[in-house]
Chain A
Amino acid sequence: MLSIRLYFLQRLSALIMAPLVILHLGVMIYAIQGGLSSEEILGRTQGSLFWAVVYGLFVASVSVHGAIGLRSIAYEWGRIRGFSLSLLSWGFCLLTFFLGGRAVYAVVFA
């Protein structure tokens, strides 16, 4: 169910997410001092390649990581097998990637 490659991918995506989460929280705590408006946030993110890469990478890792975790839970607790299991994992992966990607697009390019 959880192949060794999926296991590897899940560890790898966790490895990528960990520093990005710390960066995200750190910047938030720093930036929020003295109040923060959405204009100020967008002022920093819009057109910034750096933030596009940070959040783009984060969204990609989350979709992989979350989908693999959900796959294990669905297999073990939901007794879901075979094609339905792959459909569920891929569906969740693509949905998270789409929703996250949309958010990144909105704060960086729109």
Chain B
Amino acid sequence: MGDRSNSIRVKVSRGDDRGRHFDEFDVPALESQTVLDVVTWIQRNADPSLSYRFACRVGMCGSCAMTVNGKPRWTCRTHVSKVLQGDTLTIEPLRNLPVVKDLATDMSEFFDKWTSAESRFVPTKTREDAIEIVQPATKERIEADAAIECINCGVCYASCDAVELNPDYLGPAALNRAWTLQNDVRDGGKNSRLRAVTGEGGCQNCHSQQGCVQHCPNTLNPTRSIAGLKRLATRAVFKREL
């Protein structure tokens, strides 16, 4: 903190999609304070009607993402000292999603798109079969492992221009998960999933400009995963399978 003055000017977006405005608060500055701490302080001490969402506070659950000084971030893992502009912090809901109230967005469409991308594991074995040994050093597993640590926070989705311009586009997170499953040797849903991720709004709509890579707090690379899906799709079109 050092020479920081001892209060922060915080502009918080209020309202919903029918009308939004900013409320301003002065929040005491503390050592090692996160943006989520600031929002919580406001709700507990200044305005109990402020709505926002969080659960784990340690970067595990993916529920606390908001737009902080114009960029999508996990608020629980963002230190105020890292993002302060002068002594001001502007906190808004995530982009590209409907606002329920204040800082809480409606993430249904984000999760619905995971479902449309068939981004769920399709088992091929029963409990009678032996457990399949997955070798960590195989090419497929390395690809899947590189993309697996997603916590569904929606930060990439909020940073994606293709989502903003094309509401049908499935978005980086759902496609990233689909790519991990296309590389899972135990999965039985690959053909159907490839059709799902190449339909209207499929992987081919990605611009490859890597806004998602820039902002993913888990340093994942959805663009790379999407490029992998595009390769699979191109091969399938060539073989007349799509």
Contact = CB atoms under 8 A, between A and B. Distances in A.
A75 B168 CA distance: 12
Interface stretch (B37-45, B183-191, B199-207): B199-207
Nearest to B168: A1
A4 B202 contact: yes
A11 interface: yes
B165 A11 contact: no
A33 interface: no
Chain B contact residues: helix, strand, loop or mixed: helix
Contacts of B13: none
B198 A4 contact: yes
Describe A's contact surface by its main secondary structure.
helix
B58 interface: no
Interface string A1-14: 11111111001000
Contacts of A3: 200, 204
Contact of A1 (B166, B198, B234): B166
Contact of B204 (A7, A75, A77): A7
A11 B200 contact: no
B205 A2 contact: yes
Given A1-B168, A3-B200, A76-B166, A8 B237 contact: yes
A8 B234 contact: yes
B61 interface: no
Task: Categorize the interface residue count of chain B.
Answer: 10 to 19
Q: Which of A2, A3, A4, A77 has the most CB of B within 10 A?
A: A4
A76 B168 CA distance: 11
Nearest to A7: B204
B242 interface: yes
Given A4-B237, A5-B237, A8-B234, A75 B202 contact: no
- The CB with the most chain B CB atoms within 10 A, among A8, A11, A77, is that of A8
Given A3-B200, A76-B166, A11 B205 contact: no
Nearest to A79: B165
Interface string B209-237: 00000000000000000000010011001
Given A8-B234, A8-B237, A2 B165 contact: no
B168 to A, nearest CB: 7
Contacts of A6: 204
A75 B162 CA distance: 11
A77 B200 contact: no
Contacts of A4: 198-199, 202, 204, 233, 237, 242
A108 B42 CA distance: 76
B236 to A, nearest CB: 8
B234 A11 contact: yes
Interface centre among A5, A7, A11, A75 (most CB of B within 10 A): A7
Most buried by A among B162, B200, B237: B237
Contacts of B233: 4, 7-8
Interface of B: 162, 165-166, 168, 198-200, 202, 204-205, 230, 233-234, 237-238, 242
Interface of A: 1-8, 11, 75-77
